Amino acid sequence: ELQGAPTAPLDAVCQDANKDYVIVTWKQPAVDGGSPILGYFVDRCEVGTTHWIQCNDTPVKFARFPVTGLVEGRSYVFRVRAVNKSGMSHPSRASEPIAAMDPADRARMKGHTTAPWTGQIIVTEEEPVEGVVPGKPQDLVVTEATKNYVVLSWKPPGQRGHEGIMYYVEKCVAGTDSWQRVNTEIPVKSPRFALFDLSEGKSYRFRVRCSNSAGVGEPSEPTEATVVGDKLDIPSSPGR
Amino acid sequence: VKMFAVTEGKHAKFRCFVTGKPKPEIIWRKDGRLILSGRRYLLYEDREGYFTLKVLYCKQQDNGVYVCAASNTAGQTLSAVHLSVKEPLVRFK
């Protein structure tokens, strides 16, 4: 054990697990090693493998972190390490395994699995016509905001167009009118999103657009300006 | 393998119903090569729950065997069809 490093964080627990992210919470270590804890690193490991992957590049300060980039339907365990100026703690005990899936799907599973079955593929010819672009997403809200991340959620539009909708999230520094697309590569399929890499102290507004094969729709009403900082408006983290 | 024909210049929509728990991951392949979403390929799950591949503005090079492969922790399976793109009745030159 490194002299002066904190002891391991405690009680890594998964909350609000769905197919897009799992919020991991924990309790701060009993011993900080003599200097303040600068933050935490969260690691994930797919159940059935022994390969731990660090989820955040910079330490997070609060005992709470939304892990993204999970494969839907796969199960993961999480552990947390604390860091101070002397070094890194041992990892916490791993959390209970949790599957990256929506609660309704998890309830339907009831613990058993069945191998996939694929039906006959049916091919149809379609006339290339201009499709219907989906309307605006509704009721966009910031559900969590810390200096490390912001979580957004919204409702699908009334006007849906033909097929599956995907979403693009945009951010804008408050006071300007320069909107920037956040998820340029990965379209979001469900009505929620966790954003990282915002500048601390800056104030942002967010909005969301729907898209389908016909094109990209009008943006939702933007959120109120949200300051990126250590101001938490969430249920208090365990151990605080 | 079942054969379907579409007319050059039209869209071809492939629909495949898939079951399995946990929800399987789906990949589409054409002649063994992975199909990625792009300008001419749309991949999505439609409102009835069918996994769907749409090939836009079919060309002769879209002829081939298309496979929908599903896998989850319990296993894997696939379905295949052959697409042939026929020339339009009236050719504009």
pLDDT tens-place string over residues B33-82: 999 987 889 888 887 789 999 999 999 999 999 999 999 988 999 999 99
Q: Which of A123, A125, A165, A190 would you mutate first to test chain B, the one with the most B CBs within 10 A?
A: A123
Contacts of B35 in chain A (CB under 8 A): none
Record: contact B24-A128, CB cut-off 8 A: no
Instruction: Give pLDDT tens digits for A187-236.
Output: 788 889 998 888 888 889 999 999 887 778 899 999 988 887 765 554 44
**Res A240 pLDDT > 50:** no
Instruction: For residue A117, give the nearest of B25, B77, B83 by CB distance.
Output: B77
pLDDT of amino acid A238: 44
**Cα(A97)–Cα(A78) distance, integer angstroms:** 8
Query: 149-168 in A: which are within 8 Å (CB) of B?
Result: 163-164, 166
User: Which whole number is the average pLDDT over B6-32?
Assistant: 93
pLDDT of amino acid A163: 62
Instruction: Give pLDDT tens digits for A22-56.
Output: 999 999 998 887 889 999 999 999 998 889 999 99
ipTM for the complex? 0.90
CB pairs under 8 A between A and B: 126
Record: contact A115-B17, CB cut-off 8 A: no
Record: contact B44-A71, CB cut-off 8 A: no
pLDDT of amino acid B76: 93
